[in-house]
Amino acid sequence: MGDGSFQITFIMPDGSRRVVHAAAGEDALSGHGRPGSLLDIALSQGIEIEHACGGVCACGTCHVIVRRGADSCSPPAEEEEDCLDEAYGVTPQSRLACQCVPDGTEDLEVEVPAWNRNLARERGG
Ligand code: FES
């Protein structure tokens, strides 16, 4: 490491693992959430995470659980914490994927909770 590149393992709702490679400090990749956020990185690599509000910290549907590497992530702002308060199944490691920006000093393991998928289903009809 040291060149700012790192790896994120997404644990999907069905238990499968998707490993992506990312570089810290990149410009917006997918146009969703903060540039370089977990949501931004995931969507740019074809990994679906719910993002009903488009990544502006208003819906809570992009809730993920950062199992490993949380220390390298931007600390949650007050509005993120307020939004998470409303989210379902919140844990101490919960973050909003659209607001959580890793700095690239550690590899991450990020769980996409099953209720994320269920919400997507319901909304999609
Ligand atoms: Fe809505 Fe993150 S996408 S809060």
Whether the CB of 52 sits within 6 Å of ligand 1? yes
Q: Which of 96, 100, 116 to mutate to test the pocket of ligand 1 (most atoms within 8 A of CB)?
A: 96
Element (H, E) at 38: helix 38-44
C-alpha 102 to ligand 1 mean position (Å): 17
The total of structural domains in the chain comes to 1
Longest CA–CA separation in the chain, Å: 45
Distance CA 113, CA 116 (A): 5
Q: What is the CATH number of the domain that holds 48?
A: 3.10.20.30
pLDDT digits (tens, 9 = 90+) for 44-94: 999 999 999 999 999 999 999 999 999 999 999 999 999 998 888 899 999
pLDDT over 50 (residue 13): yes
| Containing structural domain, residue 35 | 5-122
Look at residue 67 in the predicted model and tell me its pLDDT: 98
Contacts of 93 (CB under 8 A, 6+ apart): 65, 66, 67, 70
Q: What is the DSSP letter of 70?
A: G
Distance CA 35, CA 51 (A): 15
Whether the CB of 61 sits within 6 Å of ligand 1? yes
The minimum-distance atom of ligand 1 relative to the CA of 63 is 2
The minimum-distance atom of ligand 1 relative to the CA of 55 is 3
Whether the CB of 55 sits within 6 Å of ligand 1? yes
- Is the pTM higher than 0.85? The answer reads yes
Q: How far from 95 is each of 13, 62, 112, 125, CA to CA, in Å?
A: 16, 8, 11, 27
